[in-house]
Amino acid sequence: MDNKYYIVSGDILQDVVKKVVEVKELLHKGIVKDITEGVKAVGISRSAYYKYKDKIFTVSEGIQGQKATVAMLLSHKAGVLSRILDTIAAKGGNVLTISQDLPINNSANVVITLDISSLVVDVKELLEILLREENVLKSTIVAIE
């Protein structure tokens, strides 16, 4: 599986992929209330939306500071989140927001949005580094701007 990230011109993308982005934008702006309404509005199936929704992101043009949102599943043990934050800082990331759910079944979901403009590694490599941290069960990119 190719896990590299590319920036490509939208005119080479399949229409269905562009429509997935359109659904995400409609949801984000509150124009549609849910995915079902969004896919109907743009004319794609729910399965097509779910197939591509975590694979395509838009990039804002002309921005200096970039942001990424990362979701992680962490074991519920003391110091785990602190080590994650230290690792992000050591790689040049600047944490902007943190949201942590209550632990269930001895693990907790954590969503971190960070400024990646000064990272000394790419985002994919940062995720791989975080996954190697003890008690990090899962790590995925939610969005990149």
CATH number of domain containing 88: 3.30.70.260
**Are both 71 and 128 inside the same structural domain?**
yes
Q: How would you classify residue 41: left for phi > 0, otherwise alpha for psi between -120 and 50, otherwise beta?
A: alpha
Range of the domain at 31: 10-52
Is the pLDDT assigned to residue 2 strictly greater than 70?
A: no
**Are both 138 and 72 inside the same structural domain?**
yes
Domain assignment of residue 29, yes or no: yes
Distance (Å, rounded) from C-alpha 110 to C-alpha 101?
6
As beta bridge partners, residue 75 has 107
**Are both 92 and 134 inside the same structural domain?**
yes
User: How close are the terminal C-alpha atoms of the chain, in Å?
Assistant: 23
What's the average model confidence in pLDDT over 67-79? 94
Q: Structurally, how many domains does the chain consist of?
A: 2
Is the pLDDT assigned to residue 4 strictly greater than 80?
A: no
pLDDT at residue 138, rounded to an integer: 93
**Are both 75 and 129 inside the same structural domain?**
yes
pTM of the predicted structure, to 2 decimals: 0.58
**Are both 74 and 134 inside the same structural domain?**
yes
Task: Give the model confidence (pLDDT) of 8-20 as tens digits.
Answer: 888 899 999 999 9
**Are both 35 and 100 inside the same structural domain?**
no
